[in-house]
């Protein structure tokens, strides 16, 4: 039997690949949430805005039953007994596996002294949606993509949004301060107050009706404490490009393996399925992610660390431009703003 600990995107893609490749054995997917696998990107956008009447399911109701996948909901994994090839669940039950995929995702970081919303799960999004409305004074702490998406959506709902970022510019550690300044200007142009190089003071939380903390996530690996791959809850499970860990027959994919992006979860979940069946997955493609802010599609591809030149093409003031990061003559990363049609060409250039 193949057991999958986790009910997110990487877990779902692993199931799908296993069945497409002809695996007809038993599959059990163990989810810590009470919901069938759903898509997370809409949570901070369409779902938060109230434009979706139903949860953003990855597959229609009945898919798992139709594909003979035992879906165990609202039941976290609590321990891995790797010497016995058993996964222990919160109710004390142990599932014996032939192969195991660890895909337990990540949990949001919190800030000492700050009580507020986080946005990771469907229930988180529902609570935040119910608290927003015209005139709501909202503080968003952290200008990563989740924080920026929340700011964008809340602003369109009529909230008065203040976005706090500890760095000199949003996403400065990824895109650089120069390009990060464009993100700050974009929010200001839409009425959001942006405070950069500014830590959020918990004592001033009373100035706002709601606070959203979006300062990143940590891998959900605390339950693996005591195993060779889980020293503590802030460390990602180490796995190769095929998801193989140091424990035989145990694989890892998705946010718990440090990916933190939608396309990486898709790739890693499928790669782990191939490796479980004895096939060698293809080499991973450059990391990428996308976002929508105020109706503008933004794509990022690659890794700009070590880049020694930055080329901008287009009109940043018109929200229509691309940025290419180079190391010597080699393109290592790129940002597309309002130019999703250029993504295939950017992938080709980076490959």
3-state DSSP call for residue 292? strand
Burial of 84 (0-12, 13-18, 19+ CB in 10 A): exposed
209 and 221 within one domain:
no
Q: Tell me, yes or no, whether 287 lies in a domain.
A: no
pLDDT score recorded for residue 84: 97
Query: Would the pLDDT of 234 be above 80?
Result: no
pLDDT score recorded for residue 231: 64
Query: CA dihedral in degrees (327, 329, 330, 336; nearest 10)?
Result: 80
CA distance 252 to 249: 10
Mean of the pLDDT values across residues 329-338?
Answer: 96
CATH number of the domain enclosing 185: 3.50.50.60
229 and 200 within one domain:
no
CA distance 276 to 23: 10
Number of CB atoms found within 10 A of residue 186's CB: 21
pLDDT score recorded for residue 232: 62
pLDDT score recorded for residue 55: 79
253 and 163 within one domain:
no
List strand residue ranges (DSSP E) for 202-329, in order: 210-213, 217-219, 250-252, 288-293, 296-302, 309-315, 320-327
Angle at 15 between CA 238 and CA 256, to 5 degrees: 25
Mean of the pLDDT values across residues 146-169?
Answer: 97
Percent of the chain residues topping a pLDDT of 70 = 99
Using one digit for the tens of pLDDT, what is the confidence trace for 5-27? 999 999 999 999 999 999 999 99
CA distance 164 to 147: 9
225 and 101 within one domain:
yes
Angle at 213 between CA 177 and CA 31, to 5 degrees: 115
Mean of the pLDDT values across residues 258-267?
Answer: 86
200 and 225 within one domain:
no
3-state DSSP call for residue 122? helix
**C-alpha gyration radius of the chain:** 21
Contact 52, 305 (CB under 8 A): no
What's the whole-number average pLDDT of the chain? 94
* Final residue belonging to a domain, choices 173, 188, 213: 213
How many domains would you assign to the chain?
3
Query: Would the pLDDT of 156 be above 70?
Result: yes
Q: How far is CA 311 from CA 144, 187, 279, in A?
A: 23, 23, 40
103 and 36 within one domain:
yes
Q: Which of 47, 63, 48 is nearest to 13 (CA)?
A: 63
Q: With bands split at pLDDT 50, 70 and 90, how would you rate the model's confidence at 143?
A: very high
Q: How far is CA 85 from CA 80, 82, 115, 227, 246, in A?
A: 8, 5, 40, 12, 14
The domain in which residue 165 lies consists of 122-213
pLDDT score recorded for residue 284: 81
CATH number of the domain enclosing 318: 3.30.390.30
Question: Three-class SS string for 24-91?
Answer: CCCEEEECCCCCCCECCHHHHCHHHHCCCCCCCECCCCCHHHHCCEEEECCCCEEEEEHHHCEEEECC
Contact 1, 96 (CB under 8 A): yes
313 and 272 within one domain:
no
| Tokens linked to 279 | 């096939």
Q: Which of 105, 175, 176, 108 is nearest to 142 (CA)?
A: 108
CA distance 261 to 41: 10
Contact 15, 69 (CB under 8 A): yes
Contact 150, 139 (CB under 8 A): no
Max Cα distance, the chain (Å): 60
């Amino acid at each position: 039997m193949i057991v999958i600990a986790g009910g997110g995107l990487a877990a779902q893609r692993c199931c799908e690949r296993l069945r497409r490749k002809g695996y007809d054995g038993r599959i059990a997917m163990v989810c810590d949430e009470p919901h069938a696998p759903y898509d997370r990107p809409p949570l901070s956008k369409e779902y938060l805005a109230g434009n979706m009447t139903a949860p953003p399911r990855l597959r229609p109701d009945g898919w798992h039953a139709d594909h003979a996948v035992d879906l165990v909901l609202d039941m976290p994994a609590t321990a891995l007994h790797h010497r016995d090839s058993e996964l222990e669940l919160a109710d004390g039950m142990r599932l014996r596996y032939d192969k195991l995929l660890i895909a337990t995702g990540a949990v949001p970081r919190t800030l000492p002294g700050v009580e507020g919303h986080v946005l990771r799960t469907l229930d988180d999004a529902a609570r935040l949606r119910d608290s927003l409305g015209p005139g709501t004074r909202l503080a968003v702490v952290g200008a990563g993509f989740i924080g920026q998406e929340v700011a964008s959506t809340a602003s369109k709902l009529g909230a008065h949004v203040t976005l706090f970022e500890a760095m000199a510019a949003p996403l400065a550690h990824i895109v650089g301060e120069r390009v990060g300044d464009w993100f700050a200007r974009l929010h200001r142009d839409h009425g959001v107050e942006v405070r950069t190089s500014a830590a959020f003071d918990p004592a001033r939380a009373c100035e706002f009706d709601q606070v959203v903390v979006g300062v990143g996530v940590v891998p959900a690996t605390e339950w693996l404490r005591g195993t060779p791959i889980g020293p503590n809850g802030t460390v990602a499970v180490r796995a190769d490009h095929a998801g193989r860990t140091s424990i035989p027959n145990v694989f890892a994919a998705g946010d718990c393996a440090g990916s933190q992006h939608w396309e990486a979860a898709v790739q890693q979940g499928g790669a782990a399925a191939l490796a479980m069946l004895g096939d060698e997955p293809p080499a991973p493609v450059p990391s990428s992610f996308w976002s929508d802010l105020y109706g503008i599609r933004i794509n990022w591809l690659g890794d700009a660390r070590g880049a020694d030149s930055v080329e901008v093409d287009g009109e940043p003031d018109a929200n229509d431009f691309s940025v290419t990061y180079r190391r010597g003559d080699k393109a290592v990363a790129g940002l597309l703003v309002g130019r999703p049609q250029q993504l295939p060409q950017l992938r080709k250039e980076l490959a």
